[in-house]
């Protein structure tokens, strides 16, 4: 919220904060490491996405928009490309080499909450906030990256917004964190149907932007919760494996270490960050 970006050294207890970037002029909404871990892509309320060379500590590109930018996601196979989504419901594909917009995806959606690539990055999923108009057909949309057209809507017909979308690292399905206090499961093959028989449902969302993430091997799903806990589920059975009480306020995000699979990082609504083994 103070418009700063912090890079933390998790293992060094003496100097935890290894870098600070003050490149935004308003609150930062989302941030992503590049595939090689050399750059950071951030976006926020100053209506821009910004690329930073972490080693040099320099801002290398600014991508300006006419909307608050709420979500960014690097193309998984080509880190020269990324998608952004914002408050006016416009999604854009950008090329970091030129700083130019490559494609635009628009169909009158509400504010974009999350974006996720799937199916070898030929497609991506968008989640948007349609609660004001109470139109559920555009809550989750699957897009064709190259043709700029929606492949399917009306995937999720319940009138709950979904602040987080994640594709399984190996299997053909994706999940959506629902404000109905559960994580819904969808096939990533057309027609992208909701699994009516399985869901992850012991945690609470309660209107907070609670995010979830799969472990690198895809065997576990971790999510934050409005009760301040981290919930770990078995992805095959949807069974709750473990609940970790982490914070007094809502746990809004949790992520697995990409290599050391028994290490997770999480953060709370009050700005506290924790690392668990």
DSSP calls for 245-271: E--SS-EEEEEE-SS-TT-EEEEETTS
Select from 45, 108, 118 the least CA-distant residue to 77.
118
Q: How confident is the model at residue 131 (pLDDT cuts 50, 70, 90)?
A: low
Tokens of 68: 């608050």
∠121-126-132 over CA atoms, to 5°?
175
The answer to whether the beta carbons of residues 101 and 49 sit under 8 Å apart is no
On the 0-12 / 13-18 / 19+ scale of CB atoms within 10 A, 265 is middle
Residue 133: pLDDT above 60?
Answer: no
How many alpha carbons lie under 13 Å from residue 229 in its C-beta half-sphere? 12
Q: Let me know how long the chain is.
A: 277
Alpha carbon 55 to chain centroid distance? Answer: 24
Q: How many CB atoms lie within 10 A of CB 213?
A: 19
- The mean of the pLDDT values for the chain is 94
Q: Provide the 3-class DSSP secondary structure of residue 220.
A: strand
pTM of the model: 0.95
CATH code linked to domain 1-106: 2.130.10.10
Q: What is the DSSP letter of 190?
A: T
SS (H, E, C) 10-36: CCCCCCCEEEEECCCCCCEEEEEECCC
Instruction: Render pLDDT for 180-223 as a digit per residue (tens, 0 to 9).
Output: 999 999 999 999 999 999 999 999 999 999 999 999 999 999 99
């Amino acid at each position: 919220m103070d418009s700063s970006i912090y890079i933390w050294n998790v293992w060094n207890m003496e100097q935890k904060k290894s870098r600070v970037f003050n490149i935004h002029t308003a609150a930062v909404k989302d941030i992503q490491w590049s595939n090689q871990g050399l750059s950071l892509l951030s976006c926020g309320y100053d209506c821009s996405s910004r690329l930073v060379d972490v080693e040099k500590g320099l801002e290398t590109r600014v991508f300006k928009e006419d909307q608050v930018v709420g979500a960014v996601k690097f193309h998984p196979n080509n880190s020269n490309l990324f998608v952004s989504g914002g408050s006016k419901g416009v999604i854009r594909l950008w090329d970091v080499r030129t700083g130019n917009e490559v494609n635009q995806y628009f169909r009158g959606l509400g504010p974009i909450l999350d974006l996720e690539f799937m199916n070898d990055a030929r497609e991506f999923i968008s989640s948007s906030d349609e609660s004001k108009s109470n139109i559920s057909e555009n809550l989750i949309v699957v897009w064709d990256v190259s043709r700029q057209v929606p492949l399917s809507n009306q995937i999720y017909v319940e009138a709950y917004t979904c602040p987080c979308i994640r594709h399984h690292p190996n299997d053909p399905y994706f999940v959506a964190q629902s404000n109905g206090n559960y994580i819904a499961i969808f096939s990533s093959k057309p027609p992208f149907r909701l699994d009516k028989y399985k869901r992850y449902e012991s945690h609470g969302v309660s209107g907070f932007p609670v995010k979830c993430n799969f472990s690198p091997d895809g065997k576990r799903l971790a999510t934050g919760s409005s009760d301040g806990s981290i919930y770990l589920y078995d992805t095959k059975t949807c069974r709750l494996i473990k609940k970790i009480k982490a914070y007094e306020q809502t746990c809004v995000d949790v992520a697995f270490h990409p290599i050391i699979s028994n290490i997770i990082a999480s953060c709370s609504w009050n700005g506290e960050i924790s690392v668990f083994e």
